[in-house]
Chain A
Amino acid sequence: MRVGVITFPGTLDDVDALRAVKYADGEAVPLWHGDHDLKGVDAVIVPGGFSYGDYLRCGAIARFAPVMQEVVEAANKGMPVLGICNGFQILAEAHLLPGALVRNHKLHFVCRDQWLKVENNTTAWTTRYDPGAEILVPLKSGEGGYQANEETLRELEGEGRVVFRYVGENPNGSRNNIAGITNARGNVVGLMPHPEHAIDALTGPTDDGLGMFLSLLDSVVKA
């Protein structure tokens, strides 16, 4: 399994995402924002950080990077794509996922270990979790408030496309406590919290996040 991880100017979490792929026995392949090249990978992770300094809007400029044009095309053909934090913002700006991420409702940057409930374990990235499982992973974002219009929210809820929901107090004002969603096909997932920071109890709060990368392994092997 070859899994690409994109680095944009201002990306921070590409190294941890590459490490998480290796923990799941995948081959981690660095991808460069300026290349029209996915290097033959089986899946792509768009990692967290502050691509292009978050100028204009988070993800608004990264969306137009050459590599993202390849990601959009591959995602529409069914390739598994995971967007974490800034990566989720980029996937939303690229219209691979509906809605948008806005400034946290209390304006503070939130950095804490956050409980999430896994509500959809049928996506390419979540099959290793039991339905309703609660996992603890870091959340660190200033613009993590998930916003979408009523029609989109009804569609997401009705089709079971809310993948992760915040447990307990809403940390950022996200509609319906939404922490992560998927597209209709289930190959593209975006979430604000950071599973790649929780793959080993030595370096994270838990290893609860590793299941996402192991799930990917299963779905690629099966495909």
Chain B
Amino acid sequence: MARVVVDVMPKPEILDPQGQAVANALPRLGFDGITAVRQGKHFELEVADDVDDATLAKIAENFLANPVIEDWTVRRVEA
């Protein structure tokens, strides 16, 4: 078994109102100096050893992310 991390982020040109709301809250909470926040999704998959990278890319591209509005990355990490 391996652990695979898929990160999904809104594309830079897509408005991210949730990230903006977080960014706007920070100064109110007394945290200055943070100029922008973008909010995405982080998936951790426990994957059998025979699942290849092409399959993982397909899962990310066709299901975990919507490529119209989101970019994704897949990486294998130490479990």
A interface vs B, CB < 8 Å?
Answer: 56-57, 60, 64, 92-93, 98-100, 102-107, 145, 147-149, 173
Contact = CB atoms under 8 A, between A and B. Distances in A.
B18 A107 contact: yes
A106 B17 contact: yes
A107 B15 contact: no
Interface residues of B, number: 12
Interface of B: 10, 13-15, 17-18, 21, 63-64, 66, 68-69
Given A56-B64, A60-B63, A103 B69 contact: no
Given A99-B68, A100-B69, A102-B69, A147 B14 contact: yes
30 contacts: A56-B63, A56-B64, A57-B66, A60-B66, A64-B63, A92-B68, A93-B66, A98-B68, A99-B68, A100-B66, A100-B68, A100-B69, A102-B10, A102-B15, A103-B17, A103-B18, A104-B17, A106-B17, A107-B17, A107-B18, A107-B21, A145-B15, A147-B14, A147-B15, A147-B68, A147-B69, A149-B13, A149-B68, A173-B15, A173-B17
A207 to B, nearest CB: 34
B28 to A, nearest CB: 16
Given A100-B68, A148-B68, 16 more contacts: A56-B64, A98-B68, A100-B66, A102-B10, A102-B15, A103-B17, A103-B18, A104-B17, A105-B15, A106-B17, A107-B18, A145-B15, A147-B15, A147-B68, A149-B13, A173-B15
A99 B17 CA distance: 18
Nearest to B13: A149
B17 A105 contact: yes
Contacts of A99: 68
A106 B15 CA distance: 11
A25 B10 CA distance: 44
B72 to A, nearest CB: 12
A165 B13 CA distance: 22
Contacts of B15: 102, 105, 145, 147, 173
A92 B67 CA distance: 12
A57 B70 CA distance: 11
